[in-house]
Amino acid sequence: MKPAELFQGNAGKALRRARDLFGRLADVWPLTPLGMALGIVASIALLSFGFEKLDLVLLVLGYGGVGLIAISTLAVVVAGLALKLSLRRASFEWSTSTLETGALLPTGFSLRSLWWVPIVQLRWTWLAPDGAQAEQTPERGRLRERVRLRRRGVVDSVSRRIVVQDAFGIAKIAFRHEQPGPLEVLPHLGGIRRLPVLTSLAGGEEHPHPMGLEDGDRVELRRYVPGDSARFIHWKVFGRTRRLMVRVPERALSRARRTVAYLVSGEHDEAAAAAARAAIEEEALGANWQFGADGSPEATSDRQEALHKVLLSADFGGRSGGGLGRFLAEVDPQGPAALVVFAPPVIGPWLEEVRRVSTRRYGRVRVVLAVDAVHSAPNPARWRRWLLTSSAPLGVARTELEQVGRALSQLRCEVVIIDRVSGRIIGDGVRLSLVRERAA
């Protein structure tokens, strides 16, 4: 590593530690910026006008401000300490060990609503995992938690920031609470409830090929050995050569008897993970299948283990699709199989991996692209770009999706594009005329 990069890395770590330390100090300081401003104004009103100039109006207002600060701070500190002590003694259990992304679901975590302190309010947020949105619902004197998660994965522990503050915004204290897991977060299926059977040519009787299975037409001959059925003896050859020969099936290819599937991790891969989950749960891969994913490319045929691989792929930080070659090196020696790749609908290193695979395999590789939304590239007027700040649209750009489809079609891959919201197959990778644009 270069000295400049090392210095930038150390500086970044130091900055993060300083920011975290400042945040923790701010959490234990009981006054908010509004409270400190009110304290300064009340002090000026008392000292400069109330005491020196005997202004009775400002004297009363100054005493009122100081009293309000004292009452709010005392109530918040007492309620916060009581809540923190009760959390140390309490133990919480998850209402379920499996959640889904994109929906508000109860977690089983709840706290007293502090109704016995009139001016005190209670709320909390999730610090980890990132992107979680927690909401509190009052019920029988308690605040019960519901959370919406953005990213799939296996959560080892949840970190919450619990805030106790007064109704006027004058005083506030906060502390952190850790709840151990594990908690599995599956990608939500949306409209992907039924998938077509994801099989293709792999072994059978239609296309003669030396890599096929021995279950084609009986057009080949070999010498008779004890145990062979007599009904397959070629009697005409025996009449000419006086040698017993039997008919045997040729090696050929037809519809797959075995399917191997692989999930590619990367940007915008949540919909692809949902499609992989649906294929596993709905048995769209057939009866004989094996599954692998980025981060855990080892093949498995167990349903629960395959779903666990879908979760683990969310934390994969390596080259997108980098485990595909290792996965195929494990499953290909077991015999011919159809290959299905679940991939994100964006350009990435995984396209190069698919190119390497498609040039070595007989038949087409089926690539399933799943999307949440497809939008056209915005082209606002220049004055709008100067004056307005536009938020990034959700989903994937139509042009990028078409580029991925064309690249895969040039590799002779069979491309299937699925809309996670509706569950429909919306295009073939080159023509996306059936794709409905949805506003973010």
Instruction: Find residue 176's DSSP bridge partners.
Output: 161
Per-residue pLDDT at 221:
73
Which residue from 321, 328, 325, 273 is spatially nearest to 299, judged by alpha carbons? 328
Per-residue pLDDT at 209:
46
Backbone angles phi, psi at 100, to 5 degrees: -125, 150
Within 10 angstroms of residue 274's Cβ, the number of other Cβ atoms is 27
Rounded (10°) CA dihedral 63, 69, 73, 76: 120
Which residue from 440, 424, 434, 432 is spatially nearest to 373, judged by alpha carbons? 440
Q: Which two tokens stand for residue 115?
A: 């109704």
Per-residue pLDDT at 9:
58
Q: How distant, in Å, are the alpha carbons of 28, 37, 166 from that of 172? A: 8, 14, 7
Element (H, E) at 44: helix 33-44
Per-residue pLDDT of 136-173, as tens digits, reads 999 888 999 999 999 999 999 999 999 999 999 999 99
Per-residue pLDDT at 12:
66
**pTM value?**
0.75
Within 10 angstroms of residue 194's Cβ, the number of other Cβ atoms is 9
- The list of the chain residues with pLDDT below 50 reads 6-7, 200-207, 209-216, 253, 429-440
Contact partners, residue 430, CB within 8 Å, separation at least 6: 402, 405, 406, 409, 415
Fold classified for 259-427: Rossmann fold (3.40.50)
Q: How distant, in Å, are the alpha carbons of 340, 376, 377, 387, 389 from that of 380? A: 39, 12, 10, 11, 11
Residues 432/399, Cβ–Cβ less than 8 Å: no
Per-residue pLDDT at 311:
95
Per-residue pLDDT of 383-433, as tens digits, reads 555 555 555 556 788 888 888 988 888 888 888 888 898 888 776 544 444
Distance CA 130, CA 150 (A): 8
Per-residue pLDDT at 126:
95
Per-residue pLDDT at 410:
86
Per-residue pLDDT at 37:
93
Spell out the domain ranges in the chain.
31-186, 217-250, 259-427
